[in-house]
Chain A
Amino acid sequence: MSRIDVNHVWKIYPRGNVVAVQDLTFTCNDKEFLAILGPSGGGKSSTLRMLAGLEEITKGEILFDGKVVNHLGPAERNVALAFESYALYYRLNVYENIAFPLRARGMKGPEVDKRVKFIAELLELTPFLKKYPGSLAGGIQQRVSLARALVRKPNVTLLDEPLSHMDQRVRHEIRARIRHLHDELGLTTIYVTHDQAEAIALCDRLLIINEGKLQQIGTVEEVWNRPANKFVAYFIGEPTMNFIPAIVENESSVAIPTEEGKRVFTLEGRLGERHVGMEVTLGVRPQHIEVKRERQDTNAIAGVVKVVEFQGDKTVLTVRLEDEMQTDAKAVVPAQERFAEGDVVWFFFAPSVIRVFEGDTLVL
């Protein structure tokens, strides 16, 4: 319901001088679903808590619809927050827990009832309304916590790992409903998770954060196809992106040194003149590799199959490449293609799927 701007925000915890968030700047548009993704301890929750007003901002500004909210408390910011630890009111039953934020803001009887029942139905909580949270399983408690956050129409809905304690089946179900509710009610949602599948399934845009620093923000396609740096490339995608050391031949090709010489790969775009002769890292997603049995002369490198993982709908091959570093690379092939350990295969990289990193940073 609001546009959120985060401008050069820092969070430094005085105890131990821990820098949790460093110079973070991003925008979450009105009605956008933004997922904040990153490893544990990366600053995701600190960011969310600063947005909620539960944590003081050390430096920088947070704006809701263009107005600075730094000095406002959580109640005045009108945010909804689902805690990872549920934080339910154990003396109230499920119904009253969900109704709590409505009543706290002065809403009365029938309207409260309507909203609570609607959200309870949606999150499959109707049978539990009369129960007390203490008697419910973790996953159900988490749904109650989620219901309490979603029952309102706040400026922004903040969800901190709201599905982490649910069963796999329920998780998928609820995930879809969160997105549905977001669209239906026109919410602005910021969703913190360390599960990339969840983030990719839900969000309009992804924000990747590591060690308190923004790594990249963009749509799933952008982040997937053009990861800003090695961390993002490694963090997004399963199996993770392959990294192979190489040397720049000229502005449009690179070479991977091998025992018996080198393998040359042509690239889609052009590198800068200064890159020629430089050591770089090639990044190729396992899903983008074409695995051939016959020798390939261009844009290919040979290797020996080490591990074959059959995963039902696909097979993941781990191959020791013939490059000087003997890199282990993974490739995803259709399940019907049979490979065995010890097979010699050729990995073909189409020019369009090769990413080039200089140090940690993407250059092509």
Chain B
Amino acid sequence: MKILFWLVTALVLFVIVAPLAWIYLTAFKSPNDIFTTEARKLIFFKPTMENFNRLFREFPFWDNFVNTAIISVSSTVVVMVIASFAAYSFARWNTGKGHLLFTTISTRMFPGVVAAIPFFVMYRNLGLLDTRFGLALLHIYFNVSFATFLLYGFFKEIPVELEQAAMVDGYSRVDIFRKIVLPLVRPGLAVTAVFCLVWSWNEFLFSFLFTRVAARPVTVLISSFWGSIEVQYGPMAAGAAIVILPTLVAAWFMQRYIIRGLTFGAVKG
């Protein structure tokens, strides 16, 4: 039994770690070491910063990186503001008697690409193509539904009596939301924000379709190394190595909160 446990753990770990290890190893390899068939060179090679230098010199990596950061952070902030109010309203007053909540969630029920063509036409007419604002708006559109749904559960967990007690004790609605409700759903807010941030950071399809140069996020840049003639593994791995760092940090940060978030209902209220 014990052996089986470790075997499965090792397998899972391998599946998760191997691609990461490959990216980080490749990022520091010279082209010769990347393409060699010598098994030893997979791990033992002379590290070089060549790929990073090329990435920074020949490609607008940092510009695209900043695009990604601006789009994902700004869209997440807006999403959190809209979704927390919406979710609170759904949870506390059953706004729209469930239909509105369902409509909100239903925007997540079809493949995103279905919406791509109408959005594209609309964006072209509005002049929003290849703008950070335009792409952020799309990310807001897709994340608001998800965040509302997630937060709805967290708000639902807060006993109504708690808010009523605060009301009787002399708090206004706004005070109650700010000082009673929000502190209680803080783990939920953290989890939701991180999910939205990571989704937006990693988003590829809409970024690929709706941006060209000015607003291009870094995910699209990295994919462009995969050309029709050759695959530039070096710069691609170097770019990926940098881009995934924030999401790794987010995952580490999130695991504490996810556990707290998931056990949130266990606190008797």
Give the distance in Å from the alpha carbon of A315 to the alpha carbon of B169 in the complex: 48
Give the distance in Å from the alpha carbon of A162 to the alpha carbon of B200 in the complex: 50
**What residue of chain A has the Cβ atom nearest to residue B161's Cβ?**
A87
A104's partner among B159, B162, B164, B171 (CB-CB below 8 A) is B171
User: B159 touching A101 by the CB < 8 A rule?
Assistant: no
User: B159 touching A85 by the CB < 8 A rule?
Assistant: yes
User: A105 touching B170 by the CB < 8 A rule?
Assistant: yes
Check B165 for interface membership: any CB of A closer than 8 A.
yes
Give the distance in Å from the alpha carbon of A75 to the alpha carbon of B167 in the complex: 6
- Mask of A147-175 contacts with B, CB within 8 angstroms, 1/0: 01000000000000000000000000000
**What residue of chain B has the Cβ atom nearest to residue A77's Cβ?**
B168
Q: How many residues of B contact A (CB 8 A)?
A: 19
Give the distance in Å from the alpha carbon of A79 to the alpha carbon of B165 in the complex: 11
Give the distance in Å from the alpha carbon of A80 to the alpha carbon of B162 in the complex: 14
User: B168 touching A74 by the CB < 8 A rule?
Assistant: yes
**Which of chain B's residues have a CB closer than 8 A to the CB of A79?**
168
**What residue of chain A has the Cβ atom nearest to residue B171's Cβ?**
A104
Give the distance in Å from the alpha carbon of A87 to the alpha carbon of B159 in the complex: 8
Check B20 for interface membership: any CB of A closer than 8 A.
no
**Which of chain A's residues have a CB closer than 8 A to the CB of B9?**
none
User: A73 touching B159 by the CB < 8 A rule?
Assistant: no
Chain A interface size, under 10 / 10 to 19 / 20 to 34 / 35 or more: 20 to 34
**Which of chain B's residues have a CB closer than 8 A to the CB of A83?**
161, 164-165
**Which of chain A's residues have a CB closer than 8 A to the CB of B168?**
52-54, 74-75, 79-81, 101
In A64-111, the 8 Å CB interface with B consists of: 73-75, 79-81, 83, 85-91, 100-101, 104-105
**What residue of chain A has the Cβ atom nearest to residue B175's Cβ?**
A104
Give the distance in Å from the alpha carbon of A87 to the alpha carbon of B160 in the complex: 9
**Residues of chain A at the chain B interface (Cβ within 8 Å):** 52-54, 73-75, 79-81, 83, 85-91, 100-101, 104-105, 134, 148
**Which of chain A's residues have a CB closer than 8 A to the CB of B166?**
89, 100, 104
**Given A83-B161, A91-B183, A91-B184, also A101-B268 (CB < 8 A):** no
A87's partner among B162, B175, B184, B267 (CB-CB below 8 A) is B162
Interface residues of B, dominant DSSP: helix
**Given A134-B267, A134-B268, also A89-B167 (CB < 8 A):** no
Give the distance in Å from the alpha carbon of A73 to the alpha carbon of B176 in the complex: 14
**Residues of chain B at the chain A interface (Cβ within 8 Å):** 159, 161-162, 164-172, 175, 180, 183-184, 267-269
**Given A89-B162, A91-B184, also A104-B267 (CB < 8 A):** no
User: B165 touching A87 by the CB < 8 A rule?
Assistant: yes
How many Å from the CB of A99 to the closest CB on chain B?
10
A100's partner among B169, B172, B184, B269 (CB-CB below 8 A) is B169
User: A54 touching B164 by the CB < 8 A rule?
Assistant: yes
User: A74 touching B167 by the CB < 8 A rule?
Assistant: yes
**Which of chain B's residues have a CB closer than 8 A to the CB of A100?**
166, 169
User: B169 touching A104 by the CB < 8 A rule?
Assistant: yes
List 9 contacting pairs A-B, 8 Å CB cutoff, sorted by A. Answer: A54-B164, A75-B172, A85-B161, A87-B162, A88-B162, A90-B184, A101-B170, A104-B166, A104-B171
User: A90 touching B167 by the CB < 8 A rule?
Assistant: no
List 6 A-B pairs, minimum CB-CB distance, nearest first.
Answer: A87-B161, A101-B169, A104-B170, A87-B165, A74-B167, A74-B168
User: A73 touching B167 by the CB < 8 A rule?
Assistant: yes
